[in-house]
Amino acid sequence: MKTVVLIGTLDTKGVEYEFARNRFQKAGLKTILINAGILGQSPIQSDVTNEQVALAGSSNLQTLKTKNDRGFAVSVMTKGVHQIVQNLYKKGDLDAVFALGGSGGSTISSFAMRNLPIGVPKVLVSTLVSSNAASFVGESDMALFASVVDIAGVNSLSAKVIANAVDATIGMVNGEKVEIRNNKKLVAASMFGVTTQCVTDARLILEENDLEVITFHMTGTGGKSMENLIRQGFINAVLDVTTTEICDEIVGGTLSAGSDRLTAAVEMKIPQVVSVGALDMVNFGSKNSVPEKFQNRNLYIHNENVTLMRTTPEECEKIALDIATKLNKATAPVTLFLPLKGVSAIAIKGGVFFDQEADDALFSTLRKNVGNNVELVELDCAINDNDFSTAIANKLIQLVKVGK
């Protein structure tokens, strides 16, 4: 029998979980209800008690009540629920996860969901979906339902929202399993609007050579998702053309993928071809959102919601050092390509972000600092030129064949 794991703070959401659990059980599904609440007694019985959750989080219920620190309690219960959910999944006792709640319940349950593999159904009904979705979802394939009204009892409105979320979960669990038989090696490719032509042309060459290419948009979340999938072992090789998120991390833009961007392929010891796509830009929202200290910089309004800022020579040196430091740790084959006539569609000669001094700082710093383990290839063309895309694709094909 297929099993849905329900995660809830039952001291405040017991009635709602009883409604959801009954609906799952009427559909013929087994349920495992985890109680993550600590404030009071639950009106319904759980399969995993809050004491068990606290112990799994390296504490105990009495300590949490005595300490009376909500932040600490949420941290402990988050850790405990995560550990229990992981154990259930590893034992084969979990086919889906369902949760509903406010800030505390959403924080606890979403952490456990985010750490399950892609493809496992994960459904969260939350009061905070419209304002804080990114922090819950992370790089997972979680499905979010806005509760619309507060989750405080089962009424004519909340019942409809909860029922729809439950039924969606039932559909995911009972749906015909997707079987994609693919013996092709998977390549992760990083892309941005200003490097689209390069990645598209390279992808076609890779696909003609029996490789499957999965493209990620480098918006912060895109880079995190790519790194996460690499670490999960889904990816066999990487075509990291567009490393632009490093600009945002170092300079302070809005699309950073974190300090560990460009590290997963190194850790997993898979071949990678890397380039410097869109290292000419830092991303912000509307022009009014650009920090005051950057208002006199070379800014380009991409649209009313996106403002780009040209990186300076000094910033390019820092970005290059970050890239070199990370690639120098690689033990698997890695090739770094430099397009000497432009790192993006708007950084070519005549483009709004053409800056030879900044490019020279980027290229020279990489030349000086990459180690002997990194093959450095410089091409006298722009990143979106066909010669460049052909060269990087053929190099990755070579590296993958050597890896066989």
- Looking at the structure, do residues 244 and 122 belong to the same domain, yes or no? no
By the 10 Å C-beta count (0-12 exposed, 13-18 middle, 19+ buried), 369 is classed as middle
Range of lowest pLDDT (133-147, 149-163, 305-319, 385-399)? 133-147
Q: How many angstroms separate the CA atoms of 377 and 375, rounded?
A: 7
Last residue of some domain: 141, 174, 207? 174
Domain of 27 in residue numbering reads as 3-174
Over its C-alpha atoms, the chain yields an Rg (Å, rounded) of 24
> What average pLDDT does the segment 372-382 reach?
98
Contact between 124 and 144 (Cβ < 8 Å): yes
Tell me whether residue 50 is in a domain: yes
- Looking at the structure, do residues 193 and 81 belong to the same domain, yes or no? no
CATH number for the domain harbouring residue 255: 3.40.50.12030
- Residue 135 is predicted with a pLDDT of 67
> What average pLDDT does the segment 184-213 reach?
95
DSSP state of 265: H
**Reported confidence tier of residue 394, pLDDT bands at 50, 70, 90:** very high
- Residue 129 is predicted with a pLDDT of 72
pLDDT digits over 242-270, tens only?
999 999 999 999 999 999 999 999 999 99
Tell me whether residue 233 is in a domain: yes
- Looking at the structure, do residues 243 and 280 belong to the same domain, yes or no? yes
- Looking at the structure, do residues 156 and 204 belong to the same domain, yes or no? no
pLDDT digits over 32-73, tens only?
999 999 877 888 999 999 999 999 999 998 899 888 888 899
% of the chain at pLDDT higher than 90: 79
Q: Is 100 left (phi over 0), alpha (psi -120 to 50) or beta?
A: beta
pLDDT at 404 over 60: no
Antiparallel, parallel or unpaired: β 122-126 and 96-101 = parallel
- Looking at the structure, do residues 376 and 251 belong to the same domain, yes or no? yes
Predicted model pTM: 0.75
How many domains does the chain contain in total? 2
Q: Which amino acid is at 33?
A: L
Mean pLDDT value across the chain: 93
- Looking at the structure, do residues 196 and 141 belong to the same domain, yes or no? no
Tell me whether residue 179 is in a domain: no
Contact between 383 and 305 (Cβ < 8 Å): no
User: Mutual orientation of helices 386-403 and 196-208 as an angle, nearest 10°?
Assistant: 40
- Looking at the structure, do residues 234 and 286 belong to the same domain, yes or no? yes
pLDDT at 181 over 80: no
Range of lowest pLDDT (66-80, 136-150, 345-359)? 136-150
- Looking at the structure, do residues 161 and 231 belong to the same domain, yes or no? no
Q: How many angstroms separate the CA atoms of 258 and 246, rounded?
A: 8
C-alpha distance from residue 138 to each of 5, 6, 231, 257, 369 (Å):
20, 20, 15, 11, 33
- Looking at the structure, do residues 264 and 136 belong to the same domain, yes or no? no
- Residue 402 is predicted with a pLDDT of 73
pLDDT at 403 over 90: no
- Looking at the structure, do residues 61 and 159 belong to the same domain, yes or no? yes
